[in-house]
Amino acid sequence: MKVYTLGDLREQIKSFPLFELISTPTPLYSLEKLSNELGGPKILIKRDDLTGLAFGGNKSRKLEFILGDALKKGADTVLTWGALQSNWCLQTAAAARKAGLRPVLLLFKTYDVPAIYTGNVFLEYLLEARMEIRETEEKGKSVNQDKAFELLEELAARERAKGYHPYLVSVGGSACGGHLEQPLGALGYFQAMLEIYEQTAKAADLPDYIVIASGSGGTQAGLIAGVKALGLKTRVIGICVSDKKEEFFPIVKQVTMELLTTLGLDLQIDDDDIILFDDYLGAGYGQITAETAGVIRNLFKKEALVLDPVYTAKAMIGLLDLVERHYFSSKDRLLFVHTGGTPALFALQDYIMSCLPGG
Ligand SMILES: Cc1ncc(COP(=O)(O)O)c(C=O)c1O
């Protein structure tokens, strides 16, 4: 299978319009106390919660390319959907404002959290994003993409009637649909993989595994495509945060294949390139458990690292459990990507505290 150089791949990416939103590289370092305590694999962290846009997170990398596309297509309004406390929606609204576009958000009450101006919703209020809140059919699961696009089209029609030019994009900026004709969100994580390679290869510290929270699939797809293109042995592990593996696997696979096509890379994706664990879903998307609350407290006390309750806490629970189950060898290097989402902590504060001793 063909292996590409870093230079080739960087050149390839340059052909996609990008609206600059973040400052890179984000820090990558070792979690010493955690690694020592585990006495097993070395745990490194990539701080993509420090991308710098509206409290940071993985979405800002995706949005650089997505907004580049929206601007190229002459949009003046960006429409998307997500859960009520969606980190994607906040990042999209902030990025849109920075690019001079109007944000319109369709927010679903996918889990039990009050529809008040707190956490991400408070920040969206400050941004004067237009917000429309709806119930969902099934709590704790992703909203059906076709259904969400139908509703988004209704909002788009209203915007068009007012003379605006909306750009529609699906939750998480991963799957193509609406005006997103190529997996430009995943492209952001393809680029992130090149950055990880640059940060780790020189120190002969390439990770054996990368562990991430996987929700709409684009982050995982981009990293897998990057690993393949560079010909690395690194394995990318996605910890499912909303859907079961069977439902989610085809999405990650499709986005990865579409990305390789978009980049014109002559590479194959096999089923075993896509590693997913759905054992840590708990009661479903956004549901807080004693384990979630515990890992947030534990990592904050140990490493001064703030995890979010919906994504990174679950991914860390997965990483720690896999270490305990000896999934990795004690010599392995694991890279945990902190994908952000921390403003939701403040919206879910009561739930988190009620799960902790004395709460
Ligand atoms: C904080 C955070 N981490 C991880 C993810 C998952 O990323 P992806 O949707 O690319 O799978 C999301 C998606 O919403 C997120 O907001």
User: Residue ranges of the domains in the chain?
Assistant: 6-57+183-354, 59-173
Decide: 172 in ligand 1 pocket, CB within 6 A: yes
- Rounded Cα distance between 337 and 312, Å, is 8
> What's the gap in Å between 169 CA and the centre of ligand 1?
15
Architecture of the CATH domain 6-57+183-354: 3-Layer(aba) Sandwich (3.40)
Quick one: which of 123, 129, 72, 128 has its CA closest to 106? 129
- Rounded Cα distance between 69 and 74, Å, is 9
**Packing angle, helices 6-13 and 184-201, rounded to 10:** 150
Q: Which pLDDT value is given to residue 283?
A: 83
Looking at the CA of residue 186, tell me the nearest atom of ligand 1: 10
Q: Which pLDDT value is given to residue 328?
A: 98
Decide: 339 in ligand 1 pocket, CB within 6 A: yes
Decide: 103 in ligand 1 pocket, CB within 6 A: no
Decide: 343 in ligand 1 pocket, CB within 6 A: no
Going by DSSP bridges, is the β-strand pair 333-338/209-214 parallel, antiparallel, or unpaired?
A: parallel
Q: Which pLDDT value is given to residue 26?
A: 98
Tokens of 85: 């406390």
Decide: 308 in ligand 1 pocket, CB within 6 A: yes
> What's the gap in Å between 170 CA and the centre of ligand 1?
13
- Rounded Cα distance between 255 and 184, Å, is 10
Q: Which pLDDT value is given to residue 135?
A: 84
Mean pLDDT per 10-residue segment, the chain (359 residues): 90 97 97 95 98 97 98 98 95 98 94 80 97 82 85 97 98 96 98 97 87 97 97 97 94 98 95 97 90 97 97 98 97 98 95 89
Q: Which pLDDT value is given to residue 205?
A: 84
Q: Which pLDDT value is given to residue 2?
A: 82
**Packing angle, helices 218-230 and 245-263, rounded to 10:** 50
Check if 6-57+183-354 and 59-173 are the same fold.
yes
> What's the gap in Å between 171 CA and the centre of ligand 1?
10
The preferred substitution site among 58, 91, 242 for testing ligand 1, maximizing ligand atoms within 8 Å of CB, is 58
Q: Is 86 considered catalytic here?
A: yes
- pTM: predicted TM-score of the whole model, two decimal places: 0.97
- Rounded Cα distance between 355 and 359, Å, is 6
Residues 285-335 have pLDDT tens digits of 888 999 999 999 999 999 999 999 999 999 999 999 999 999 999 999 999
Residues 115-125 have pLDDT tens digits of 688 999 999 99
> What's the gap in Å between 86 CA and the centre of ligand 1?
9
Domain covering 59-173 in this structure, CATH number: 3.40.50.1100
Q: Sheet containing 166-168: which strands, arranged edge to edge?
A: 130-135, 102-109, 77-83, 166-168
Kindly name the residue from 60, 86, 216, 242 that is annotated as catalytic: 86
Going by DSSP bridges, is the β-strand pair 166-168/209-214 parallel, antiparallel, or unpaired?
A: unpaired
Q: Which pLDDT value is given to residue 201?
A: 86
Helix (H, G, I), strand (E, B) or coil at 16: coil
